[in-house]
């Protein structure tokens, strides 16, 4: 690998880290310009907007941390106290973080914007793909649940053939119970008939009157 190729890769890596740091804090209107032909001091100029002092400071801090995490030297920062225009000096690249009114007034694009660099913005696209892949099992699970739900609906609303089978089973289960009930009723009804027959078989004896039992009644005594 030649020195020029290594230098190009380094600058590409650096500008990618800067843009990622700006996107992490929702910077507006990010633009990158190639300034190799304009200045020997740096090769890239990056311009971005922040809507408030708080956001411009957060953007500068995010760029500094992203560049350092990418393996480059810690950048120098200027203008943090005011917050309207913060410059982050990353060595081969200089980042201008400005509020919209300051950016419109100075319009640095006229000074450095002869060769804009095209970059793919939106560092969260690979994450979205990963989320999509991770969501695939969830879809299959939902399909399984929906099929199970359909089976549950089928069971809740059985077909006519299933209804006929269930009715036949109920009838078969009720038949022995009905037969046993009839036998029990027949036995209960037969019991009084037996009692009546026994009572009829016994001889009927009329009770003897007092006169018959004692013989003749006592005659009254004769008077002398």
What is the per-residue pLDDT across 26-65, written as a single tens digit (0 to 9) for each? 999 999 999 999 988 999 999 999 999 999 999 999 999 9
Contacts of 175 (CB under 8 A, 6+ apart): none
Looking at per-residue pLDDT, the higher value among 170 and 19 belongs to 19
The tally of domains found in the chain comes to 2
Q: For residue 171, give both structure tokens.
A: 């009838």
Specify the pLDDT at position 161. 64
Average pLDDT for 65-85: 94
Specify the pLDDT at position 3. 81
How buried is residue 21: exposed, middle or buried, by Cβ count under 10 Å (0-12/13-18/19+)? buried
Cα separation, 11 vs 9, in Å, equals 6
Q: Which long-range contacts (CB under 8 A, 24 or more apart) does 142-150 make?
A: none
Query: For residue 40, is it within any domain?
Result: yes
Most confident residue range from 169-173, 176-180, 206-210: 169-173
Cα separation, 202 vs 204, in Å, equals 6
Specify the pLDDT at position 58. 96
Specify the pLDDT at position 147. 53
As a whole number of Å, the end-to-end CA separation of the chain is 181
Residues 10 and 72 in one domain: yes
Residues 145 and 117 in one domain: no
**Which residues constitute the domain of residue 136?**
125-167
Which CATH number fits the domain that encloses residue 89?
3.30.460.10
Q: Is the pLDDT of residue 138 over 90?
A: no
Query: For residue 220, is it within any domain?
Result: no
Cα separation, 66 vs 92, in Å, equals 15
Average pLDDT for 145-172: 58
Confidence of residue 86 (pLDDT cuts 50, 70, 90): very high
Query: For residue 63, is it within any domain?
Result: yes
Cα separation, 105 vs 103, in Å, equals 5
Query: For residue 185, is it within any domain?
Result: no
Confidence of residue 130 (pLDDT cuts 50, 70, 90): very low
Q: For residue 218, give both structure tokens.
A: 């006592």
Residues 153 and 119 in one domain: no
Residues 54 and 151 in one domain: no
pTM, two decimals, is 0.55
Query: For residue 210, is it within any domain?
Result: no
Name which of 20-29, 63-72, 92-101, 207-216 the model is least confident about.
207-216
Residues 63 and 134 in one domain: no
Contacts of 48 (CB under 8 A, 6+ apart): 22, 27, 28, 29, 30, 31, 59, 95, 96, 97, 98
Contacts of 114 (CB under 8 A, 6+ apart): 33, 37, 38
């Amino acid at each position: 690998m030649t020195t020029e190729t290594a230098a190009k890769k380094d600058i590409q890596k650096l500008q990618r880290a800067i843009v990622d740091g700006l996107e992490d804090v929702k910077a507006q209107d990010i633009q990158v310009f190639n300034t190799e032909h304009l200045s020997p001091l740096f090769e890239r100029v990056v311009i971005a907007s922040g809507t408030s002092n708080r956001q411009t400071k957060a953007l500068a801090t995010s760029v500094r941390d992203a560049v350092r995490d990418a393996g480059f030297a810690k950048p120098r920062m200027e203008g943090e106290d005011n917050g309207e225009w913060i410059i982050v000096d990353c060595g081969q690249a200089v980042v201008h973080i400005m509020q919209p009114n300051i950016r419109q007034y100075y319009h640095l694009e006229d000074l450095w914007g002869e060769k804009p660099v095209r970059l793919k913005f939106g560092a969260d696209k690979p994450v979205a793909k990963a989320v999509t892949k991770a969501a695939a099992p969830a879809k299959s699970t939902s399909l399984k649940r929906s099929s199970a739900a359909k089976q549950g609906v089928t069971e809740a609303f059985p077909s006519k053939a299933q209804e006929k089978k269930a009715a036949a089973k109920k009838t078969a289960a009720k038949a022995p119970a009905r037969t046993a009930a009839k036998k029990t009723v027949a036995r209960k009804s037969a019991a009084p008939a037996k009692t009546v027959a026994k009572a009829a078989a016994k001889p009927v004896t009329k009770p003897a009157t007092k006169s018959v039992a004692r013989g003749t009644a006592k005659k009254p005594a004769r008077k002398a």
